[in-house]
Each structure stands twice: as structure tokens, then as C-alpha cells.
């Protein structure tokens, strides 16, 4: 992992530095045309591939050629992503909706964070660095990013395993490995401090709703619970368990109308709950379900292999359906 810039330089707002001409920009050219659902990361090629077409009729396109290798990707929306590359020691914002692709560095934020999480609307992101034992929260994404908070986690003495950040960057909910179990904490900008919320067996994912609730999938307990009013007077409530089809949940996400989606790895199903946590439906995926990854507005990727069929959950209309995209021909 690259060296972390000293904290005293991270208190100021971050400037977006547009990378200049021939070193990178001259090589950043779009290699496709027509509608694009979003982009998937090809870890072998170290590039992004477009899912070209429309929902229900798309293909995995050839890699976009940005002129540098990519080591990690955090998706913000269908056309915007934050990446770590070998071109700069800082994180880069890619705007894949322009031709040529625009590339900008986020000054003061080191590449290759241990973990990263984007907010529901992609306007804020959190970056965890295990070596420095802190989390940096960036708001104003994607056009005017600024580091607004640095959260010191050194007193915990254990690694962070999952996290979720609010759209305005004022709330961070995260899980900490306790050696055999996990502890869920919340940090609030209002109080400027963190506090313990609840314990879990093994976290599979955390998501924040727009009304300030944390949805937590406990993979070890085969259950999903909510922590209502997580930044105020938090209350834990059981939402769904193995009797509802929750089976080794590997991810959780929030979509259209605050609907809750739980990806069950053992049963290859997606459990759908309404905004109050009431059971709505179960959708079966004939796939190796690895998580619930945002692709674009209320459309999520369920698998992480691009050499196999890519499965998507479309929740953009409030009437969920499972779709697939054939693997790349090459």
C-alpha cells in the first residue's frame, strides 16, 4: 500500500487536479458507442469493460483503454468510478461518459485503500487505510471532492471489515473484527465521536437507507437486522432470518423507494424487503452469488466473474427482475 499523506495535510478541502495531456489523457479514448448500462472490472486485464446495451439486452464489451493499469474500482454511478492505478499515487476519478474519458486525481487521498464504500447516491465515499488506522470521508463527488472528516480508529486496535457512509458524509457505520465475532459501531459528525451499537457473528454487508437506518446482514447468524435512527437513538430490530430464506448473506443494498436487497450466497437468492423491513419476495439466481454490487441507479450486479455470465438485479421500477449478460467473447 502506498504511503499515507500526513494527517495535517488532510484537513483542508481536496482539490481536483485534472491530469494533463500526453502522459495519460492522450491515451484515454472511448472504444465503444451506443447505450451503456455500467462498467465491470476485469482484474486480469486491469481495465474496465462496458456492459453495452439496455437492460435485458446487453453484452460485455471490450476493455476501455485508459492508458494505465487499474488495481481497484469503487463505482459511483453508471459512468463515474474512483480507481487506484499505476499512473499516480493518488486516487483517480474516471468519467466514462465523456469522449475522450476525463480523468482527475483526488489530491491528498492515497491510492489502494484497504477498503472503500460509496454512499447510496454516490455523492460521498469512505476510504479505510489499515496501516494508518483511519477512515477518510470525501463528499462533493464526483465533481468537487473534498476530504471533510478523518476518523481515527487506532484505539480499536482491530481491523475494520465492512462500512457504509451516508450521502452527506455525516454518518459512518462500520464493523470491527473482534476475533470470533464482530462489533458494529457508528461515527457521527454531529457528535464528532464514535460509539458501539451492537454485536454480530460475522458481517456480510452493511447499507444505509435514506431515512437514516443501517441495514446489517449477519452471515454467521443467517439473519438481517435494522438499526433505526442510527445517528440518534439507535434501536435494533430483527428483519429476516433463515425461515425467510436468508442463507449466508454475502451482501445487502438499498434501492428504489428504500427497498432492501439481501444477496444469499448459500441459496443463490435475493430476498427483497420494503423500507420498513417487511418481507416482499425472493428471487432465485442460477449463479454463484457473491454480493450485491451497485452498477447504476437501483441496478445491482450479483456475481463477480466476467468470464462467466454476469447476473443483474433490476430494481429500478420497483418491480424487481433478474437479468443476465453473456460473458465476454474474448
In a domain, 147, yes or no: no
Which tens digits make up the pLDDT trace of 75-87? 999 999 999 998 8
Distance CA 181, CA 212 (A): 25
Which tens digits make up the pLDDT trace of 194-246? 999 999 999 999 999 988 899 999 999 999 999 999 999 999 999 999 999 99
Angle value at C-alpha 269, between 197 and 83, nearest 5 degrees: 65
Strand pairing partners for 128? 115, 135
Last residue of a domain, one of 93, 112, 131: 112
Shared domain for 209 and 317, answered yes or no, is yes
The DSSP H or E segment spanning 304 is none
Q: How are the residues of the chain apportioned to helix, strand and coil, as percentages rounded to the nearest 5?
A: 5, 50, 45
| Cell 491530469 found at | 19
The yes-or-no verdict on residue 30 having pLDDT over 90 is: no
Dihedral through CA 23, CA 26, CA 32, CA 35, nearest 10? 90
In a domain, 122, yes or no: no
Question: What is the per-residue pLDDT for 33?
Answer: 60
In a domain, 259, yes or no: yes
69's CB contacts (< 8 A; 6+ apart) are 46, 47, 85, 86
Last residue of a domain, one of 61, 93, 112: 112
Looking at every residue in the chain, the average pLDDT score rounds to 89
Shared domain for 106 and 223, answered yes or no, is no
In a domain, 108, yes or no: yes
- Rg of the chain, C-alpha, whole Å: 19
Q: What is the CATH number of the domain that holds 277?
A: 2.120.10.30
In a domain, 144, yes or no: no
Distance CA 39, CA 222 (A): 31
Shared domain for 103 and 211, answered yes or no, is no
In a domain, 150, yes or no: no
Shared domain for 96 and 207, answered yes or no, is no
The yes-or-no verdict on residue 13 having pLDDT over 90 is: no
Which grid coordinates are listed for 27?
491515451
In a domain, 134, yes or no: no
65's CB contacts (< 8 A; 6+ apart) are 27, 28, 29, 31, 47
In a domain, 44, yes or no: yes
Last residue of a domain, one of 57, 91, 112: 112
Number of domains composing the chain: 2
Domain membership of residue 210 as a residue range = 201-330
Which tens digits make up the pLDDT trace of 176-191? 999 999 999 999 999 8
Numbers of helices and strands, H then E, in the chain: 1, 28
Strand pairing partners for 207? 215
Distance CA 159, CA 203 (A): 13
Which grid coordinates are listed for 267?
441459496
Shared domain for 104 and 228, answered yes or no, is no
Amino acid at each position: 500500500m502506498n504511503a499515507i499523506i500526513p494527517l495535517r495535510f488532510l484537513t483542508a478541502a481536496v482539490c481536483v487536479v485534472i491530469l494533463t495531456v500526453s502522459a495519460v489523457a492522450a491515451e484515454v479514448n472511448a472504444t465503444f458507442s451506443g447505450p451503456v448500462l455500467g462498467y465491470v472490472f476485469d482484474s486480469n486485464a486491469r481495465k474496465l469493460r462496458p456492459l453495452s446495451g439496455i437492460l435485458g439486452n446487453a453484452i460485455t464489451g471490450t476493455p476501455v483503454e485508459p492508458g494505465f493499469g487499474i488495481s481497484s474500482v469503487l463505482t459511483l454511478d453508471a459512468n463515474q468510478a474512483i480507481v487506484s492505478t499505476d499512473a499516480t499515487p493518488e486516487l483517480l476519478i474516471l468519467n466514462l461518459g465523456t469522449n475522450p474519458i476525463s480523468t482527475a486525481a483526488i489530491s491528498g487521498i492515497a491510492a489502494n485503500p484497504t477498503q472503500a464504500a460509496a454512499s447510496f447516491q454516490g455523492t460521498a465515499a469512505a476510504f479505510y487505510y489499515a496501516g494508518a488506522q483511519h477512515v477518510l470521508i470525501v463528499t462533493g463527488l464526483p465533481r468537487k471532492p473534498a476530504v471533510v472528516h478523518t476518523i481515527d480508529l487506532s484505539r480499536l486496535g482491530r481491523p475494520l471489515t465492512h462500512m457504509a457512509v451516508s450521502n452527506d458524509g455525516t454518518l459512518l457505520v462500520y464493523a470491527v473484527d473482534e476475533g470470533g465475532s464482530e462489533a458494529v459501531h457508528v461515527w457521527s459528525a454531529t457528535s464528532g465521536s464514535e460509539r458501539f451499537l451492537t454485536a454480530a457473528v460475522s458481517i456480510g454487508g452493511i447499507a444505509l437507507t435514506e431515512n437514516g437506518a443501517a441495514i446489517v446482514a449477519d452471515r454467521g447468524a443467517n439473519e438481517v437486522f435494522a438499526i433505526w435512527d442510527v445517528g440518534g437513538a439507535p434501536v435494533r430490530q430483527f428483519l429476516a432470518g433463515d425461515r425467510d430464506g436468508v442463507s449466508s448473506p454475502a451482501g445487502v443494498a438499498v434501492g428504489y423507494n428504500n427497498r432492501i436487497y439481501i444477496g444469499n450466497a448459500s441459496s443463490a437468492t435475493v430476498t427483497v424487503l420494503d423500507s420498513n423491513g417487511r418481507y416482499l419476495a425472493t428471487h432465485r439466481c442460477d449463479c454463484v452469488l457473491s454480493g450485491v454490487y451497485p452498477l447504476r441507479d437501483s441496478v445491482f450486479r450479483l456475481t463477480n466473474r466476467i468470464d462467466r455470465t454476469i447476473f443483474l438485479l433490476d430494481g429500478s421500477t420497483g418491480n424487481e427482475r433478474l437479468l443476465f449478460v453473456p460473458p465476454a467473447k474474448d
